[in-house]
Structure 1
């Protein structure tokens, strides 16, 4: 279901409709409709905590709230379509006809031709060349766990403990924050953000995390991904928006990826022969 409460919260933070759409996993058109309906119904943030998404739906769109049904339509095979469109004579109309036949044989509900073309277009947009995006100072921060780990030695037992490195980078200035933890659990993830905010002396409007479990809960379809509950509560507490990077899309957080590489080379690799001892 559309996250109406989150859309209104992020709008109250003056987050752009495009970023709200990305954070909530909906289209920009949906965000625009929700915000327009909220003005018409005089709904403003903060909302009553007991107000559920279903109740918000009925308040925002009373005439359509009962008409929404879960789609059971079969989605196109994008990889197959991309290959076939490159062949001589290949076009969307022909592929849609073949898609209809496949749906008939498998007894699946097909998409209309306009919907079929729309989803193919959305798939093509994701693979287009990227461009430079202007950022504002202090607006956004990218966070991630470094792939390489460090080692800490328990002085009493001699046990080697793995240390996981958290990285937070200001998108505009590329100013980094780095901290090591003995695990990657939720408590460490939240503590890292809290310490990072103290270090920077403030909170950015947007956080761009990777798709780790402490940040994003993955469903069967990654387009329907959800923000981890505790992480979302932290965002509400600090008044910031979480916009996860797309799966397998490192360019969505290039500064964090670049800083991770720098740390791996000039800190972790440079200190690989140095022994560090764990103390309480």
Structure 2
């Protein structure tokens, strides 16, 4: 075994300085906190190497260590026993079930006179320390994918107006191989966030055991060290792919170091290389990003003498779970409470549920096409999603029987009913319906008039309608007041006696004005 040092090069230089200044071995031990044997051994090594104080100014710590602790006849530091391919062992150790003991046993099977287990582990850790930080983390193949948005954005110009809009850059990195996926999206909102995940899984061709996001609001409702609350839509997407979400712990940068390094590398290879290009659409930008990502994955990792793509193909891909038969369709989940009219609201439109659930809390699942309503895990209603037209979507089966009878009424039916009484009543019904922003809002008034007119003969009903039209009384309450005060009868009486009034002696008559 080569010489083993137990003190730093700074301590060794201090030791030689003290000895040169005339300090005794006991004094040096007390000042530096070293054992007597350690001081004597290092003084002996310095004498054998011909070192005197002060040391040459150009003598580095590495050169000093080589002089004092290398084997005689092995000045270059080359080891005398056969060594394995440490880079290949890094990849092997990422595979499920592979341990250092197993790798050492395979090594000794090929080299029976090779290093012992403890020295084998020391040499492997020494090799690992020389790797880039993103490659030194201990990640099992197929275990985790780290996802986040880059802090930098990509500018995209509108070809018609020249207006520049900035797009977000989504980055995902597999833990074991470092295999990278990236794409541009307009926002960090939930639909774009989940859509990027769907395309990420399709790009990988498989699903890792865990997704590790930062505590982005689109994915994590409430960040917590112990019990983070995952957005329900995000959790449903993960469930569709048979994976789980494990957010990085707040204020624990090491939890997301993999993606942070991937983001920095992506920014260099994507944003750096594309900074002089002008993009006019999101699709054009993503085509360029795909080329940059391909360069990232085919880039040679010098210490491992391989690429991310090769590590992914040989180490990571076999460990990924298979994709489901269909991509996940984005669906937004919300809580809602059933209103008194047995409808629930989503984005300004109203959808019916069975009337027995009035005031109950339900779950809404909204896709681009369908609105589904669930109560205690059971689907109770399904509607085509509305983006225009009438604001209410009502299933007749959800209504009480009395409401279903009401729903059979239409504006034409009310007008036909009014015409059956007389032209004045038809005009009143038409005026009531026209006075409301939506004709349906006048149905109850029309039904009230129907109930009032059941007790009247046709002449009186027509007289009431004429009176209501004349004074603009277009509500149930005002028409009921006309009937109660017999104002319709008085109006009819005045019209019936008009000739007798004209012959009154106090009237001058039209001839007076000629």
TM-score by length of 2: 0.28
Give, in whole Å, the separation in 2 of the partners of 1:249 and 1:279. 33
User: Which residue is 1:262 aligned to?
Assistant: 265
User: Which residue is 2:244 aligned to?
Assistant: 241
Give the one of 156, 162, 165 matched to 1:158. Answer: 162
- Relative to structure 1, the CA distance from residue 269 to residue 134 in structure 2 (aligned partners, 3 Å threshold; closer, same or farther) is closer
Give, in whole Å, the separation in 2 of the partners of 1:135 and 1:158. 45
Give the one of 185, 192, 196 matched to 2:189. Answer: 185
Give, in whole Å, the separation in 1 of the partners of 2:171 and 2:154. 13
Gaps spanning 5+ residues in structure 2: where? 1-135, 284-514
- Taking the TM superposition and a 5 Å limit, the aligned residue runs for 1:45-56 are none
Which structure has more relative contact order (CA 8 Å, sep 6+)? It is: 1
User: Which residue is 2:423 aligned to?
Assistant: none
Give, in whole Å, the separation in 1 of the partners of 2:263 and 2:139. 21
1:255 CA drift (Å): 1.5
Q: Does the 8 A contact of 2:156 with 2:282 survive in 1?
A: no
Q: Does the 8 A contact of 1:143 with 1:168 survive in 2?
A: yes
Give the one of 238, 243, 255 matched to 1:252. Answer: 255
Give, in whole Å, the separation in 1 of the partners of 2:276 and 2:151. 19
Give CA deviations for 1:216-261 in whole Å, capped at 9, x if unaligned.
Answer: 1126x65443001110111111110111001132210212100111
Give the one of 167, 171, 178 matched to 1:167. Answer: 171
Could you say what secondary structure the match of 2:159 adopts? coil
Give CA deviations for 1:175-219 in whole Å, capped at 9, x if unaligned.
Answer: 000010011110111111100101100111111000000111126
- Taking the TM superposition and a 5 Å limit, the aligned residue runs for 1:2-13 are none
Q: Does the 8 A contact of 1:143 with 1:208 survive in 2?
A: yes
If each structure's helix is expressed as a fraction of its own residues, which one has the higher value? 2
Give the one of 120, 140, 144 matched to 1:140. Answer: 144
CA RMSD of aligned residues (A): 1.8
Could you say what secondary structure the match of 1:258 adopts? helix
Give, in whole Å, the separation in 1 of the partners of 2:276 and 2:166. 15
Q: Does the 8 A contact of 2:147 with 2:211 survive in 1?
A: yes
Give, in whole Å, the separation in 1 of the partners of 2:268 and 2:282. 26
Give CA deviations for 1:120-139 in whole Å, capped at 9, x if unaligned.
Answer: xxxxxxxxxxxx76322122
Gaps spanning 5+ residues in structure 1: where? 1-131
- Relative to structure 1, the CA distance from residue 262 to residue 134 in structure 2 (aligned partners, 3 Å threshold; closer, same or farther) is closer
Matched, 1:276 2:279: yes
Give CA deviations for 1:26-61 in whole Å, capped at 9, x if unaligned.
Answer: xxxxxxxxxxxxxxxxxxxxxxxxxxxxxxxxxxxx
Could you say what secondary structure the match of 1:260 adopts? helix
Q: From the CA coordinates, give the structure whose radius of gyration is larger.
A: 2
Give, in whole Å, the separation in 2 of the partners of 1:173 and 1:242. 20
**Matched residue count:** 148
Q: Does the 8 A contact of 1:154 with 1:279 survive in 2?
A: no
Give, in whole Å, the separation in 2 of the partners of 1:226 and 1:165. 24
1:279 CA drift (Å): 6.4
Q: Does the 8 A contact of 1:211 with 1:247 survive in 2?
A: yes
